Structure 1
Amino acid sequence: MSANALSLQSLIRTEAAADPAFVSDGTPISRAKFAEKIEQTAAWLAAQGIGRGDVVAVWLVNRIEWLALLFAAARCGAIIAAVNTRYRSAEVAHLLKLSGARLMVVEAAFRSADFAAILADIAKDEVPALQRLAVVGADAIPAHWPCVRFDAFDTPYPPAPTQDDVDLPVLLYTTSGTTKGPKLVAHSQRTLATHASSVARALKLDPQRHALLAMLPFCGTFGMTSLLGFVAAGATVHVLDAFEAAPALEVLSTRGITHVFGSDEMFRRILALTDAPRPFPHLEVCGFAAFQPGWRELATEAEARGLPLFGLYGSSEVQALFSIARASDSFADRIEGGGWPMSSEATVRVRDTETGELAAPGVSGEIEISAPSHFLGYFNNPDATRDAFTADGFFRTGDIGRLRGDGSFVYETRAGDAMRLGGFLVAPGEIEDELKSCIGVADAQVVAVDLKGQARCVAFVIPAKEPPMQETLIARLRERLAGYKVPARIYVVEAFPVTDSANGVKIQRARLREMAMERIAAEGLAQR
């Protein structure tokens, strides 16, 4: 395969492709027009002094400018650092400093988001590499840095030279983050384009029959990977600038959409807006990530209403849609995270976290992956990159799962969330599901704590109506679960602590562990 066949540009094929390539804000954009916009944007980047190895931070909602910048950067040998539109000043400053971005392309304004106010909280000396801002939709915004207008589409610039190296970094995603701030995950044109083609093949996408609703943000791998897969297939992509349930419902119901990807909460909000028994006549695959309690109940309701949910797996490091369930799987298996790798060249194995040996099918352990889709490394962080891989080149995912033995696998939980209780590795979801089956419990979360030198689990529950009695719940669980899985404490709360990510709202399990220890400590003080 030639280097050109591994470039992002190679994905914009025209033979047998559907037109338009995109429908954005109701405006159709043909493949030829999109290719023209890429050329214009590459020329604009060159005119800004951006070339090989330079980093451009992109802080935009879903719009054609975002995609044109990515494809144009690939042409110039530059690197795009994707900035989450939900970020605030500390997070934006961390990304700008870590990436060394020279230029930031930013929204003038979007709904209630005040990008200028957020930037005003960042001191120039915090991000010394940043030289200027390029504003989409205005000539300038109030800022510490000089501003230029992003005028690539309406101002002619001299053509830019083309770089051919498909193995250079071209896109930086942020990880979900730690107390030290998120790392930057670097991907090349080769990793992006190869995986996009694998997605198109694995999903058997037909450009004349299939269409995608892109409602996930492009700044995250979930939104970008699903979009690139449909670009590679030559299918039409309908773009929402940012997710809102009502516009998503309208597009899903009226535009012949066959595929959509999102979080469980997104699909829950869409379903809540319609009473129609089967409002989505064309939907074939709805790939979903389960971030919230109650996702199994959601999947059951969605199935009955013609919104077929498919479990999947991915990460910034191996890209989203690394794997997905198949239509031939049983419903119970289809809605589990994990599934079948998109690439025939991918290998998934599981390592027993206790013995360090590879685990047999059915035994839970850390998932390790070797695949063409995996990242180049953590940008400017060789130590973290080295630690992320095994000696034989498998990526250590930090996720717990098990092999099924038929070529598929099951994602169970993050390694930091898995609990070793009574000498056994236990996924919180097992106990949470039992709690949610109890009268009076709407939602539940379970975390592990050290209690008098012994690993025990603690549960937090949101009541349905009247708060359930802890003694009643514990008695019920003792009837249903092994003793080591029964929570030492069950606390009633009004809501779980959450955080926003590029792909949806996630529960802060680390904060739940802190809350559990705080409450247990308070009990000890009260008894003195």
Structure 2
Amino acid sequence: MTGATLASFLDEFVAAAPEATAGIDVIGTDTVTITRTRLRDRVRLLEAELAEVGLRRGQCVAVFLPNWSDTVAWQFAASALGAHVIGINTRYNIGEVEHVLRAARPAVVAVAEDFHGLDLFGMLGEAMSATDGDVDPPAVAVVRAPGDPLPSATDFDSAAFDLGSGSWHAGSGDTRGASAPRTPATATATAAGALGDPGDPLAVAFTTSGSTGTPKLAAHRESAVVGHARADAAGMGIVPGDVTLCVLPLSGVFGFNTAMATLAGGGAVLMIPVFDPVVTLRVMESERVSHVVGGDDLYGRLHDTWREVRGDLSSLKWLGIADFLGRSHEIARWARDEFDALTTGVFGSSEVFALMLFWSSDDSESVRWNGGGRPVSAEISVRIADPYDDSAMPDGDQGELQVRGPNVADAYLGNPEAAAQAFTADGWFRSGDLAVATGDGGFTYVCRAGDALRLRGFLVDPAEIETRLAAHTGVQTAKVVGITGPGGYTQAVGFVVPVANAAVTAAGLRQWCADTLAAFKVPSAVHVIEKMPTTVGGNGTKIRAVELREWAQQWTDRERDFRSE
């Protein structure tokens, strides 16, 4: 193999400072610290157990765990045997877990024994039953929370966690006859993967958002994980002694890449399995958090809570932010004014890794606080292309952001058609995102191609209208969607959640937009609602635009205001 391995990555990490902190687990209001040496010991123990149950190169390990340091250990352990990991979000429903089981065919599942009152094993069992015998039952590794002692051999009822291939308590050294089935390979190489080294195995897969259909499982090679982690660490300025807040689930690409970048830079990961803003702020202060990556939904809750409880966050240095709720500029100003921290918009996805693009400190705030950025590695190529014929477009014009490089997904699990559909004839990955090349090596994210509005013949990013609405002092959150109006033309419809006791009206908000926006960008209607419909994904909370479009189409008779209904 020509590329770096996760095993060598871990060895270098430990050798640099064996007793330095690698991870800090937050359990309730307490913390449990794991050193680099202890992390490697845990990895070696799990690797030995996986080998004992017969895990083979090319097979899959599903990790059904919250944000515990053990999640990182399972990644290293599986990769040491040439297997790949698919994370399962603890918030998934049974259907979503079933989809992962069918697509990835894991030979082993690591599942939390007890977490936040959730019966994760029970959900796993129901998902297996729903496959109707089409999926081989995986061996089950039962994982206890950090700091919890293992039960004695006589106290562990292996039958209670047996799906058909046995179970054992992870870390006990006693696999109790569990045996990983000979699961079929489900990976189909992409155009990027076909160019890779056959000796460089898949290491990790992520579930895509599913915004364009059934969620896909995009898989990446081991060397790509290591290379991208190192590039991100350099771009983020992570150095030994830094601590990164890990709230986003490591089952998702943003959480995973953030954690791996932290280790690559010699920092420590602060693992938050259950997000409570007060507890999180307190531990951010006590552990001197320096780096955070998340959506403006996460930052918004921290910001709003900090206004009430305060706290010393002067250790903050770098914030990477994705705009889901229209609050990114507000958050960036707060971080700058209160803590002198640098905030940058970011770009990434399951197929091209998170933190693929972000801006530098040399970029002006008017650029840096928006989504996008520059590639974190010279090996990553980005172009803006016409989404209809894939022809290159000039700087300044909107088009589809397309990518080539080692960060692009090497395979899809359980979906042979996806590999062909996701790439152009000349091998570029189609992101499905609209962006603009700035002419100086940067790319400004516009929106998902399907979210762009064509108003009076002009292609308009709804975020432009949302930003104007959100700038009103009486507006907490704003979202704009498009519907088909009279004559078949697209109309922009705004939805706002007001600040408590704010005196805002639909007419007033439309006039607010008209004061600065072109007439064709002014929403045809603005509905004042109590709260936005949202969905929780691996990378944060997103507003359900589909549901808002349904409301907008239903409410064409008049503008709604929940306070007067």
- What TM-score comes out, normalization by structure 1 length? 0.90
In the alignment, the residues of structure 2 paired with residue 141 and residue 422 of structure 1 have an alpha-carbon distance, to the nearest angstrom, of 65
Q: Distance in 2 between matches of 1:62 and 1:139?
A: 25
1:326-381 deviation digits (Å, cap 9, x = unpaired): 12222222211111211112122112347753222222221111222111132232
CA distance in structure 1 between the partners assigned to 2:496 and 2:107 by the alignment:
47
1:479 and 1:246 mapped to 2: Cα distance?
Answer: 39
Question: 2:28 aligned with 1:23, yes or no?
Answer: no
Q: Distance in 2 between matches of 1:354 and 1:52?
A: 40
Distance (Å, rounded) in 2 between the aligned partners of 1:423 and 1:263: 32
State the 1:70 CA deviation: 1.3
Aligned to 1:239: 271
Change (3 A) 1:521 1:184: farther
Contact 1:108 1:140 (8 Å CA) reproduced: no
Change (3 A) 1:98 1:467: farther
Runs of at least 5 residues in structure 2 that lack an aligned partner in the other structure: 145-155, 178-196, 560-565
Report what 2:233 is aligned to: 200
1:336 counterpart SS class: coil
Alignment of 1:174 with 2:207, yes or no, is yes
State the match for 2:143 in structure 1.
136
Cα separation, 1, equivalents of 2:16 and 2:84:
31
**Superposed CA offset, 1:288-326 (max 9, x none):** 222213322222223211144221111111111112221
Kindly state the Cα deviation for residue 69 of structure 1 after the two structures are TM-superposed: 1.7
- AA in 2 matched with 1:20: T
Aligned with residue 215 of structure 1, among 228, 247, 261: 247
Evaluate the alpha carbon distance shift between residue 485 and residue 80 of structure 1 in structure 2; reply closer, same or farther with a 3 A threshold.
same
Q: Pick from 426, 429, 433 the counterpart of residue 392 of structure 1.
A: 426
1:497 aligns with 2:533: yes
Displacement after TM superposition at 1:10 (Å):
2.0
The equivalent of 2:256 in structure 1 is: 224
Q: What CA distance in whole angstroms lies between the structure 2 residues aligned with 1:150 and 1:49?
A: 16
Deviations 1:14-64 (A, max 9, x none): 454471222334333333332222221111112222112222211001223
Moved more, 127-136 or 396-405: 127-136
Tell me, what secondary structure is at the counterpart of 1:45? Answer: helix
Q: CA deviation at 1:443?
A: 2.4
**Residues 263/151 of structure 1: CA separation in 2 closer, same or farther (3 Å cut):** same
Matches within 5 A, 1:298-377: 298-306=331-339, 307-353=341-387, 356-377=390-411
Q: 1:17/1:407 Cα in 2 relative to 1: closer, same or farther (>3 Å)?
A: farther
Q: Distance in 1 between matches of 2:476 and 2:275?
A: 26
**8 A Cα contact 2:303 2:331, kept in partner:** no
Match status 1:148 vs 2:167: yes
Q: Give the Cα–Cα distance (whole angstroms) in 1 for the partners of residues 107 and 388 of structure 2.
A: 45
After superposition, give the CA deviation of every residue in 1:187-212 in whole Å (9 maximum; x if it has no partner). Answer: 110211111121123334332x4332
Query: Cα distance 1:455–1:119, how it changes in 2: closer, same or farther (>3 A)?
Result: same
> Structure 1 residues 473 and 60, CA, compared in 2 at 3 Å: closer, same or farther?
same
Residues 518/434 of structure 1: CA separation in 2 closer, same or farther (3 Å cut): same
Deviations 1:503-522 (A, max 9, x none): 21111112212222222389
Question: Greater shift after overlay, 16-25 or 444-453?
Answer: 16-25
> CA separation in 2, counterparts of 1:278 and 1:340?
33
- Displacement of 1:267 in angstroms is 2.0
Q: Does 1:520 align with 2:553?
A: no
Judge which range, 249-258 or 387-396, deviates more.
249-258
* 1:457 is the counterpart of 2:492: yes
Superposed CA RMSD in Å reads: 2.7
| Cross-structure match for 2:150 | none
- CA distance in 2: counterparts of 1:439 and 1:258, whole angstroms: 30
Distance 1:11 1:246, change over 3 A: farther
- CA offset digits 1:155-180 (Å, max 9, x no partner): 4999xxxxx96522221110112485
Q: Deviations over 1:459-481 (max 9, x none)?
A: 12223336644334334433432
Q: Which amino acid aligns with 1:133?
A: V
* 5+ residue gaps, structure 1: 159-163, 524-528
Contact 2:325–2:479 (CA under 8 A) maintained in structure 1: no
| Aligned mate of 1:510, from 520, 543, 546 | 546
CA-CA distance at 1:219 after TM superposition: 0.6
1:474 aligns with 2:515: no
Is the contact between residue 17 and residue 233 of structure 1 (CA under 8 Å) also seen in structure 2?
Answer: no
CA contact (8 A) 1:277 1:305 kept: no
- 1:297 matched to 2:302? The reply is no
Match of 2:189 in 1: none
Separation in structure 1 between the aligned mates of residue 279 and residue 472 of structure 2, nearest angstrom: 36
The 8 Å contact of residues 215 and 248 in structure 1, kept in 2 or not, is answered as no
CA contact under 8 A between 1:457 and 1:486: conserved in structure 2? yes
Higher alpha-carbon deviation: 389-398 or 210-219: 210-219
SS of the residue corresponding to residue 198 of structure 1 reads helix
Compared with structure 1, are the counterparts of its residues 15 and 56 closer, same or farther at alpha carbon in structure 2 (3 Å cutoff)?
A: closer
**Distance in 2 of aligned mates of 1:377 and 1:22:** 30
Change (3 A) 1:249 1:45: same
- Output one character per residue of 1:207-241: Cα deviation in whole Å (capped at 9) or x when no partner: 2x433232321111111111111222233333233
Measured in 1, the distance between the counterparts of 2:101 and 2:175 equals 29
Structure 2 residue aligned with 1:434: 468
| Count of aligned pairs between the two proteins | 515
Judging changes above 3 Å, is the alpha-carbon distance between structure 1 residues 454 and 438 closer, same or farther for their aligned structure 2 residues?
same
For 1:157 and 1:180, the matched residues in 2 are separated by 41
Residues 1:69 and 2:74 are matched in the alignment? yes
Rate the CA distance shift 1:405–1:287 in 2: closer, same or farther, 3 A: same
SS in 1 for 2:357: strand
Say if 2:296 and 2:326, in contact at 8 Å, map to a contact too.
no
> Judging changes above 3 Å, is the alpha-carbon distance between structure 1 residues 475 and 230 closer, same or farther for their aligned structure 2 residues?
closer
Q: Counterparts of 2:364 and 2:7 in 1: how far apart (Å)?
A: 38
Moved more, 16-25 or 168-177: 16-25
TM-score computed with the length of structure 2 as normaliser? 0.84
Secondary structure of the residue aligned to 1:496 is coil
- Contact 2:325–2:478 (Cα < 8 Å) also in 1: no
Aligned to 2:91: 86
SS at match of 1:480: coil
What SS does the aligned partner of 2:414 have? coil
Aligned partners of 1:305 and 1:400: how far apart in 2?
Answer: 33
The change in CA–CA distance for 1:189 and 1:439 in structure 2 (over 3 A counts) is closer
Q: Which region of structure 1 is more displaced relative to structure 2, 230-239 or 354-363?
A: 354-363
- What SS is found at the alignment partner of 1:84? coil
